[in-house]
Amino acid sequence: MNIPSADWVNPLIQLLEAVQLAVLRLLSWAGLAGTSEGQPAWPWTVRLTGENLLIDLGQARRLAWTLGLLALAFIVLLLALLWRRRRWWLIATVPLLLLIAPRPDAGVLLAPAQPTSFHRSPTGFSAASISQGRALYAQHCVACHGADGRGGPLASAQPVWPPNLSGPLLWRRADGDVLWRILHGTHDRRGHATMPAFADSLDAQDAWALIDFMKANAAGQSLRATGAWAQPVALPGTTVRCDGRAPRALSSWRGQRVRIVLADASSALPVEDPRLATVVVRTAPRLPSTPAADCEVDDAELRDALALIAGSDALPGLQLIADRDGWLRARSGPGQAAWSEDDLICRTDLAPRAAERAPASDGLGALIARIDAEPVRFVKGGFAH
Distance between CA 158 and CA 66 in Å, rounded?
43
Binder among 154, 287, 314, 354 for ligand HEC (CB under 6 A):
154
Phi, psi of 174 (to 5 degrees): -65, 135
Please, what is the minimum distance in Å from the beta carbon of residue 321 to ligand HEC? 29
Task: For residue 38, state whether it binds ligand HEC (rule: CB under 6 A).
Answer: no
The angle at the Cα of 253, spanning 366 to 333, to the nearest 5 degrees, equals 45
Site string for ligand HEC, 178-207 (x = CB under 6 A): x--xx---x-x-----xxx-x---------
Q: Give the chain's largest Cα–Cα span.
A: 86
Q: Which stretch, 33-41, 56-64, 160-168, 277-285, contacts ligand HEC (CB under 6 A)?
A: 160-168
Distance linking the first and last C-alpha atoms of the chain: 6
Closer CB to ligand HEC, 217 or 319, in the complex: 217
Closer CB to ligand HEC, 145 or 385, in the complex: 145
Closer CB to ligand HEC, 212 or 296, in the complex: 212
Please, what is the minimum distance in Å from the beta carbon of residue 356 to ligand HEC? 39
Closer CB to ligand HEC, 139 or 266, in the complex: 139
Please, what is the minimum distance in Å from the beta carbon of residue 157 to ligand HEC? 8
**Count of residues binding ligand HEC (CB under 6 A)?**
22
Closer CB to ligand HEC, 198 or 339, in the complex: 198
Q: Are 332 and 318 contacting, i.e. CB atoms less than 8 angstroms apart?
A: yes
Q: Are 209 and 100 contacting, i.e. CB atoms less than 8 angstroms apart?
A: no
Task: For residue 318, state whether it binds ligand HEC (rule: CB under 6 A).
Answer: no
Please, what is the minimum distance in Å from the beta carbon of residue 64 to ligand HEC? 27
Closer CB to ligand HEC, 200 or 356, in the complex: 200
Q: For residue 240, give the amino acid letter.
A: V
Q: For residue 100, give the amino acid letter.
A: I
Please, what is the minimum distance in Å from the beta carbon of residue 42 to ligand HEC? 16
Q: Which residues contact 220 (CB under 8 A, 6 or more apart)?
A: 307, 308, 309, 310, 311, 312
Distance between CA 111 and CA 106 in Å, rounded?
9
Closer CB to ligand HEC, 73 or 202, in the complex: 202
Distance between CA 14 and CA 50 in Å, rounded?
8
Closer CB to ligand HEC, 205 or 312, in the complex: 205
Q: Which stretch, 64-72, 138-146, 220-228, 334-342, contacts ligand HEC (CB under 6 A)?
A: 138-146
Residue ranges in the chain assigned as alpha helix (H): 6-29, 57-82, 87-100, 106-109, 127-140, 142-145, 169-172, 175-184, 204-226, 300-310, 363-373
- Collapsing DSSP to helix, strand or coil, 16 comes out as helix
Q: For residue 374, give the amino acid letter.
A: E
The angle at the Cα of 48, spanning 46 to 50, to the nearest 5 degrees, equals 135
Closer CB to ligand HEC, 104 or 115, in the complex: 115
* 321 sits in which H/E element: strand 319-322
Closer CB to ligand HEC, 141 or 258, in the complex: 141
Site string for ligand HEC, 227-246 (x = CB under 6 A): --------------------
Binder among 210, 235, 240, 281 for ligand HEC (CB under 6 A):
210
Looking at the DSSP bridge assignments, the partners of residue 40 are: 35
Binder among 47, 119, 134, 173 for ligand HEC (CB under 6 A):
173
Task: For residue 160, state whether it binds ligand HEC (rule: CB under 6 A).
Answer: yes
Measuring CA to CA, how many Å separate 133 from each of 192, 213, 214, 217?
27, 5, 8, 10
Looking at the DSSP bridge assignments, the partners of residue 296 are: 241, 280
Please, what is the minimum distance in Å from the beta carbon of residue 188 to ligand HEC? 6
Binder among 47, 62, 119, 145 for ligand HEC (CB under 6 A):
145
Q: Are 332 and 315 contacting, i.e. CB atoms less than 8 angstroms apart?
A: no
Binder among 109, 144, 328, 376 for ligand HEC (CB under 6 A):
144
Instruction: Tally DSSP H helices, then E strands, for the chain.
Output: 11, 13
Interface positions with ligand HEC (CB under 6 A): 140-141, 143-145, 154, 158, 160, 162-163, 165, 173, 178, 181-182, 186, 188, 194-196, 198, 210
